[in-house]
Structure 1
Amino acid sequence: MIRFLIHILINLATAAIGLLLAGWIVPGVVLQPTGFVVAVVVFALAQGVLGPFVFNVARQYASAILGGIGLVTTLIALVIASMFDGGLEISGFMAWVGATLLVWIVTALGGWILGWLFITRRLGKGKGSKVAQ
């Protein structure tokens, strides 16, 4: 249960960081402070739910794009998050491309790094110390 909660917190944190960076770096991406939390939650939820679905669809019908599942999932999650007014607005083709790439890189690397840091290192030590007793 603790691992599950840590995964949720990591996904929310990396989504927030990715969206903030996209808003600061990518022209055409605008984040409204009033809807930022909603945009982060909707994005993280959409990405978490859509990941396995997109993977299964791609595996069945378009196995050539299996390597790009993270990018496709990130793009779809950005589209869904931008549908909610007052949070995330993306305008222009290059803004969509830039935001997708930047948010995907941040969420992927952040997920790996934070997952290793909090789950493998921190919780792994607790398990090792229990076995040694």
Structure 2
Amino acid sequence: MMVRLALRAATYLIANAVGLLLSVLILDGFTISLMAFLVAVLIFSIVQGISGPMIAKISLKSIPQLMGGISLVTIFFGLWITTLLVSGMEIGGIANWLAATLLVWLGSLVAEMLLPIFVFKQLRENKT
């Protein structure tokens, strides 16, 4: 049980790191220092983990049409809070904000699907 929770947490952190790294590599105005990157991944993941269920609950009651885009709203909110708290992270311009939201969503989605299938499966096979 604890191993499964640890693997899920590791997958979540790695997936968010992949999404943020993808934005840094593709977007000119998205900059982050190495040390800030590590802190940003942690803060971003915590903010997303807390705000996701809250935003989903609020939107279900108030704006049910938003339910399809909950992940995007949560990622945008997570990026915004993270840039407020991490001094070495900058996202310049509205186009970068929108593109970063999509890139982080896409990168973390793909990483979260592939990590358990390939990486953690190999770890389980090597253990047995």
Q: Amino acid of the residue matched to residue 107 of structure 1? A: S
CA displacement, residues 13-54 of structure 1 (integer Å, 9 cap, x when unaligned): 111111111011012111112211110100111111111111
Q: Which residue of structure 2 lines up, in the alignment, with residue 90 of structure 1?
A: 91
> Aligned residue pairs: how many?
125
Give the percent of matched residue pairs that are identical in Structure 1 and Structure 2.
32
RMSD between superposed Cα atoms in Å = 2.0
Q: Amino acid of the residue matched to residue 20 of structure 1? A: L
Q: Alpha carbons of 1:61 and 1:21: their partners in 2 closer, same or farther (altered >3 Å)? A: same
Any residues of structure 2 matched to 1:28-47 within 5 Å, and which?
Answer: 28-47=29-48
The reply to whether residue 9 of structure 1 matches residue 10 of structure 2 is yes
Distance 2:40 2:119 in 1: 25
Any residues of structure 2 matched to 1:1-133 within 5 Å, and which?
Answer: 1-117=2-118, 121=121
Of structures 1 and 2, the larger Rg is shown by 1
Q: 1:86 Cα deviation (Å)? A: 3.0
Are the aligned partners of 2:16 and 2:41 in contact in 1 as well (CA < 8 Å)?
A: yes
Q: Alpha carbons of 1:31 and 1:52: their partners in 2 closer, same or farther (altered >3 Å)? A: same
Q: Which moved more, 1:104-113 or 1:63-72?
A: 104-113
More contact order relative to length (CA 8 Å, sep ≥ 6): 2
Distance 1:22 1:118 in 2: 23
Q: Alpha carbons of 1:123 and 1:32: their partners in 2 closer, same or farther (altered >3 Å)? A: closer
Distance 1:7 1:36 in 2: 20
Q: Which moved more, 1:10-19 or 1:90-99?
A: 10-19
Are the aligned partners of 2:19 and 2:108 in contact in 1 as well (CA < 8 Å)?
A: yes
Unmatched runs of 5 consecutive residues or more in structure 1: none
The two structures have a TM-score, normalised by structure 2, of 0.87
Q: 1:112 Cα deviation (Å)? A: 2.1
Are the aligned partners of 2:39 and 2:86 in contact in 1 as well (CA < 8 Å)?
A: no
Q: Amino acid of the residue matched to residue 64 of structure 2? A: S
